[in-house]
Every structure is written in C-alpha cells, then in structure tokens.
Structure 1
Amino acid sequence: MPKVPQNRELDRLRSTDPEWYSLEPGEPLWRVYFRSGAHPSRWNQFRTFGPTDARFDHQLEDRTDGHRAVMYLAQSPVTCLAEAFQKTRTIHRADRKPALVGFAVTSSLKLLDLTGAFPARIGASMGLMTGARSVARNWARALYAAHPEGQGFRYPSSMHANAVAIVLYDRADQARVLPRSPGFHKALDDPSMITVLKNAAREIGYLLR
C-alpha cells in the first residue's frame, strides 16, 4: 500500500520527471452523470463539492478551497458504466435519472499518466488504483500541488481490466475545452439503450435494473 505523502515529500514529487499524456481533440470520452437525486448535474458540469469517497477527489478536507472541481470520465462506455456503478455493481437505469454522454475535448489537455511506472517512481504504486481511497485522495492533492500545469490524471480502471479512466480537474474546466454539445447523449432508461446496457452488464458482471 502506498504511504500517504507528507508535505516534506512535495519536493520529491516536483523533482521527479512526470509522465504526461496529451489528451487530444477527437479522442472519445464518456461520462455517466445523474440528472436527479441529492446532487443533480448537467452533462458538462464539474463537481465542486467534496471530497466525496471518489478515488481522486483533490478537494481539501477542510473545504478551504472552493475552486477545486472534478469530472470523472472513461475512454469507453463500458469502463464508464463500470466505474459509475461500482458501489452496488448494479446498473440502475432510472434511479437518479442517469444518462450516458460521449464527446471529445476541443483542445489538448495535459494529464499526469498513472498507467505506467510513474506511481512507483514517486514512491507510490499501482495500489493507488486499488487500495484505500483516502490514501489516493491524499496523493491526488499532493500531485495537484506539485504539478500546477497538470489538468487531471489518466489512470487504469480497477473495475474494468485496467482500461483507461480519466479524472479532469478545475484547471481543465478553466481551459473551457468541452464542446458546446456532446456527440452522444441518452438517458439510460431510453429503450434504445437496453442492448448496450445488457452487453455492458454481461461483460463486467453487473446486474441491470
């Protein structure tokens, strides 16, 4: 299990050459968002409240920085569904009115790449993706502070065979790289989605309701 970084280790993070991934326009991105419930959202809305129990929330525990925001994405619909419904391992088509949206950014984004050796080189490990989420959130805060040019992370999904997942931070939101409208946008309870959802649930071993 990677240890929680302390303030004195920020120098090590800054001095270790980062591994960057350039997310380019045209690369498909997928997101499940919820239009109802305690925190209804829009398809292009970053989440400003937190930290929640999500793995790479970088919001401060004392909530002293209200400008921090996150958006979790994936590079395939199945990975996106696996991540969004991992708590219950059940894809709920109607509860909280979930929708699947697909789009591409309009300009390139600079993401720290956690899919290779970089976690080990900074004293962590791939346990960042599978271990305690509180530890991963501390690393997220430290990496956010150490690399002010970074706009998010690219990381392997622990819920879908290490397929690519992405978290974008407020710096990406400030760059205004989201399109005016998505290329794909459907509610999960849309009848045309049933085959897609059945196939996804079968692939990842989730229930579908």
Structure 2
Amino acid sequence: MLRRTEDVIAVPAGTRLARVFTSGGNHPQQWNSFRYAGPLPHARFDPHLPNSQGGPTITREHGVLYFSLSVQTCIAEVFQATSTVDRRTRSPHLVLFRPRRTLRLLDLTGLWPTRAGASQAISSGPKSRTQAWARAIRASYPELDGLWYRSAMDSGKPSVCLWDPPADTALPDTPDVLLPLSHPGLDVPLGRVCQELSYTLLD
C-alpha cells in the first residue's frame, strides 16, 4: 500500500520548524520534550491507545510533538478555541529549530489516504477517527518519523506531527529561537499574524 517514492516526504535537515508551547501551568512543557501521555481530545494524530474508559494512557512507546512550517500556522492551531492569543497565561513560548537529520514523514496531502481507504478528511475529521488512523499508521510503519498533513486552521498549510521513537534523534541540542510570546520583539510579528487570522492579541 505504501509507495515510498511517492508517499513519504523527506524533509531535509535544516528545514525550519516552529512550535508554540506552554512552559507553565499544571502541565509545563519544554520545547523538545515529547508527550508520552495520550490520546488527548484536541490532538489530531496522537497514536496512543486509550484506556478502557477512552481516556489517556502513558507509555514510552509513543511520544508525540506537533510543529508547523510557519509561526502563523502555529498560532492558528494553538489558539483556535478562543481566537485570542494570550501571551502570558501558562507562559506560552515560541521555538524555531532545524532538525539535524532528514525527517521521513508519511504524506497525508497526497494519494496515500485514498489508497488506504481514508480521504483528505484525515487532516480535518473527528479526532477519534484521525487518532485511530494514527495508531494504524504507527503500527504499520514504525520506522517513519511521523506525518506531513494540512493544517485545518490555516488554509491547509503544512504541519508536521513527529513520533518518538524514532524522531527524538532528529531534534537538535539547542533551537535557533526560543522566546516567550510576551517578548517585546514579537509584538509586531504577532500583531501581523493576528490581523491576518482575525485573532485578538492580548498584551
């Protein structure tokens, strides 16, 4: 079913990826820490097997991180619930980094979903369905670093879901940029992004 020359995207080392994450609150994160608890209700491609009540489990076999190729896509995805960019609550941060090796990602924007019996709704359908697909893909192709898919919030622009193992070996020791969203240097770019998305930017 998988045509590796057609269905697997090779994202070169040096490609800049972006992520917005929260470093405060009840579940503080680090820029490069994979999440091994899941599936979470909002997380489209969490590959974790839920417990008997449908809730999250914790396993080192399945780590997940979500990235985009642009800051705008990150903002659109992370703050979609309220369309309000709160720069202080839970201390949100922006990270930009470049993987240190080529990432091999299943391309969900091409014909693979059709051949597999899914559809392009795999990038925008109900989370329970897309998470089931993530589990099936992960079980069938454990050597892949993750998925290349369309953002449901930013005009279908590319987003990336990384799975560990094996993607942890692709992350660099230090990022290119790591700033709190409250940093004054982000005032103008965040303002432009929020204007484009019709989101509200809080000080």
TM-score by length of 2: 0.91
Matches within 5 A, 1:1-209: 15-17=1-3, 19-53=7-41, 54-62=43-51, 63=57, 65-174=59-168, 176-209=169-202
Contact 2:123 2:130 in 1 (8 A): yes
Distance 2:9 2:165 in 1: 15
Contact 2:38 2:58 in 1 (8 A): no
CA drift of 1:172 comes to: 3.4
CA drift of 1:16 comes to: 4.1
Residue identity in the other structure for 1:61: P
RMSD, aligned CA: 1.3
Residue identity in the other structure for 2:99: V
CA drift of 1:117 comes to: 1.6
Contact 2:36 2:58 in 1 (8 A): no
Gaps of 5+ in 2: 52-56
CA drift of 1:205 comes to: 1.8
Number of the residue aligned with 2:54: none
Distance 1:87 1:117 in 2: 30
Q: State the secondary structure of the residue aligned to 1:202.
A: helix
Residue identity in the other structure for 2:28: P
Contact 2:37 2:59 in 1 (8 A): no
Distance 2:16 2:74 in 1: 12
Number of the residue aligned with 1:3: none
Shift >4 Å, 4+ stretches: none
CA drift of 1:66 comes to: 3.8
Kindly tell me the number of residue pairs found equivalent between the two proteins.
194
Percent of pairs with identical residues: 37
TM-score by length of 1: 0.88
Gaps of 5+ in 1: 1-14
